[in-house]
């Protein structure tokens, strides 16, 4: 099983940006955590990060035929990007939206998610563990479809 993990703007600044919200671990630490979690679940994971909306759309589109599912942390684009919603609908792969922080306990505008409209579920507020939870969710979901 292959999962594509796509991370949006400012996640490359983990450990620096608002550590009281996002923690002190770096993006490299997140990639390492994801790799270990994927290996423990016996799945192949590929991580990507971009600060550019169009590149994120392209990464979603490229998952078609290359991955069995998508885990997306669109970061700030969560609240603005109809383009990411449309890309997820176009590729029609099972997807999970992930957020490190609990977006429902933050500013009102963070409670709106366009990509979630094309995702199977949203996992928020669990830090790095949210990515493992998303992997486990997709592994179980995809196993029932085979």
pLDDT in tens, 45-94: 999 999 999 999 999 999 999 999 999 999 999 989 999 999 999 999 99
Q: Is the pLDDT of residue 146 over 70?
A: no
* Domains detected in the chain: 2-145 (3.40.50.9100)
Place of tokens 């994971």: 45
99 in active site: yes
Q: Which helix (H) or strand (E) holds 70?
A: strand 69-73
- Of residues 99, 114, 131, 137, which has the active-site annotation? 99
DSSP 75: G
SS3 22: helix
- Of residues 22, 114, 131, 137, which has the active-site annotation? 22
114 in active site: no
Rounded average pLDDT over 11-19: 86
- Comparison of pLDDT for 79 and 146, the residue scoring more: 79
The share of the chain scoring above pLDDT 70, in percent, equals 95
């Amino acid at each position: 099983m292959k999962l594509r993990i796509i991370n949006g703007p400012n996640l490359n600044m983990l450990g620096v940006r608002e550590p009281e919200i996002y923690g002190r671990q770096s993006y490299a630490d997140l990639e390492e955590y994801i790799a270990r979690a994927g290996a423990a679940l016996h799945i192949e994971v590929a991580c990507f990060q971009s600060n550019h909306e169009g590149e994120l759309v392209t990464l979603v589109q490229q998952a078609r035929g290359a991955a069995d599912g998508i885990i997306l942390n669109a970061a700030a684009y969560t609240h603005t990007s109809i383009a990411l919603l449309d890309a997820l609908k176009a590729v029609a792969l099972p997807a999970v939206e992930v957020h490190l922080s609990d977006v429902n306990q933050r500013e009102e505008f963070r409670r709106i998610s366009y990509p979630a409209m094309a995702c199977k579920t949203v996992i928020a507020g669990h830090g790095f563990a949210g990515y493992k939870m998303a992997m486990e969710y997709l592994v179980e979901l995809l196993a029932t479809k085979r």
